[in-house]
Structure 1
Amino acid sequence: MSFNMTIDNEIALITFDDGKVNAVGFGLIDAFNQALDSAEADAKAVVIYGGEGKFCGGFDLSVMKGEDKGQQQALVSAGAALVKRLYAFPKPVIMAAEGHSIALGAIFLMAADLRIGKDGDTKYGLNETAIGMVLPSFGMELAKARLASTSLTEALLFSRIYQGEEAVKAGYLDAAVPQDNVLNTAMSYAAQLKMLPSSAFAESKRQLRKETLEKMGV
């Protein structure tokens, strides 16, 4: 896994890329938390980028399909805590998702303040029901808060997967642009959002999301 964070012009750019689907394991969660510590201290906005043509395909299947139930529970708990931190983060968080964002990848998108995705054949959605799982409560509450009310049934019960403008309409994305423009668009929004007064932004975000954060129960 290649993981990198730079801070330039008060914008933290976090890039994670394993060359595959960016599966989330313990190491990646630790790296994210360390990067967010630095961003909270030294940046005024955060952009999270999954690399060229990628974003996140969910939890590490080597753990989730293994026999160690304790490790599985620990990984889900650590992922839930990271999602809750992103959703409550006191600085603007922008996701740049050029590739598939499924399961935890879609939850990451819902935890961000602004989500820029690809307008082509890229999949965004929650597939838990389709693979015989129930979305954990932290993801369910986040979905109810961030997805369009008219899309909740098909997104959560039918496991519908969306692309492009359909993903915008459903609430997974805020904009769908050509792949070459995803990161630049996210960085442009970050440059605008970093100008907001930090203390007012943080307190408004806390009040706006307090109820959902409490329901997420992490």
Structure 2
Amino acid sequence: MAFNLAINNDIAVITFDDGKVNAVGFTLIEQFNNALDEAEKNAKAVVLHGGEGKFCGGFDLSVMKSGDKEKQHELVSKGADLIVRLYSFPLPVIVAAEGHSIAMGAIMLMASDLRIGKDADTKYGLNETAIGMVLPPFGMELAKARLANTSQTEALLFSRIYQGNEAVKAGFLDAAVPQEKVLATAMRYAEQLKMLPSQAFAASKLQLRKETLEKMKG
């Protein structure tokens, strides 16, 4: 996997691209945490970019379909910790999602502060019910906090997958733009958000999300 952290002008750009669907496995989670450690020390905003034409297709299926219950539980637990960290991260977190963001990928969107996606032909959503799974509590509580009330039944129970402005209306994205403008738009927002007083931003985020974070951890 090509994983890269670049910090310029106080913006940390974390790019992860495995050439496929950017499945979330143990290695990627470790790389994310290391990059977030560095960003917290040396940046004022973070941009997550899944590479050209992609974002994240969910947990690593080689683990989730392996039959090894211990490994599966460990991966989901570490993934939950990462999501809690992103949702409570003291810096603004902006996503540039040029491609499909399904399951854990959609949860990563909901854990971020501002989400820029593609305006067409790209899937955003939670497919757990459709594949016979129940969304873990950390994902369910996050979805209840971030998705529009009018979209929660179809998104969480019916596994509806959204595209473009439908994903904005549902609450998975904040803006949908042409693919060639996704990263540039995210960077433009990062330039604005990095100017916010850091201590006030971090404290306000924790105050705003305290109840949801407690439920996610529980």
Scaled by the length of structure 1, what TM-score is found?
A: 0.99
1:83 deviates by: 0.3
1:205 deviates by: 0.3
In the other structure, the counterpart of 2:87 is 87
In the other structure, the counterpart of 1:12 is 12
What is the DSSP-based 3-state SS (H/G/I as helix, E as strand, rest coil) of the residue aligned with 1:141?
helix
In the other structure, the counterpart of 1:217 is 217
Contact 2:14-2:47 at 8 Å conserved across structures: yes
AA of the residue aligned to 2:178: P
How big is each residue's C-alpha offset from its partner over 1:149-188, in whole Å with a ceiling of 9 and x where there is no partner?
A: 0000000000000000000000000000000000000000
1:217 deviates by: 1.8
AA of the residue aligned to 2:190: A
In the other structure, the counterpart of 1:46 is 46
Partner Cα separation in structure 1 for residue 111 and residue 159 of structure 2: 19
1:68 deviates by: 1.0
In the other structure, the counterpart of 2:207 is 207
Partner Cα separation in structure 2 for residue 133 and residue 179 of structure 1: 31
Partner Cα separation in structure 2 for residue 28 and residue 106 of structure 1: 16
For these two proteins, the number of residue pairs brought into alignment is 218
Query: Unaligned stretches of 5+ in structure 1?
Result: none
Question: Please, what is the CA RMSD of the aligned residues?
Answer: 0.5
Percent identity, please: 78
Partner Cα separation in structure 2 for residue 87 and residue 19 of structure 1: 26
Contact 2:94-2:114 at 8 Å conserved across structures: yes
What is the DSSP-based 3-state SS (H/G/I as helix, E as strand, rest coil) of the residue aligned with 1:205?
helix
In the other structure, the counterpart of 1:67 is 67
Partner Cα separation in structure 2 for residue 81 and residue 128 of structure 1: 19
Query: Unaligned stretches of 5+ in structure 2?
Result: none
Scaled by the length of structure 2, what TM-score is found?
A: 0.99
Contact 2:118-2:164 at 8 Å conserved across structures: yes
Q: Does 1:149 align with 2:111?
A: no
Q: Does 1:29 align with 2:29?
A: yes
How big is each residue's C-alpha offset from its partner over 1:170-210, in whole Å with a ceiling of 9 and x where there is no partner?
A: 00000000000000000000000000000000000010000
What is the DSSP-based 3-state SS (H/G/I as helix, E as strand, rest coil) of the residue aligned with 2:13?
strand
Residues 119-134 of structure 1 correspond to what in structure 2 (within 5 A)? 119-134=119-134
1:67 deviates by: 1.9
Partner Cα separation in structure 2 for residue 46 and residue 206 of structure 1: 17
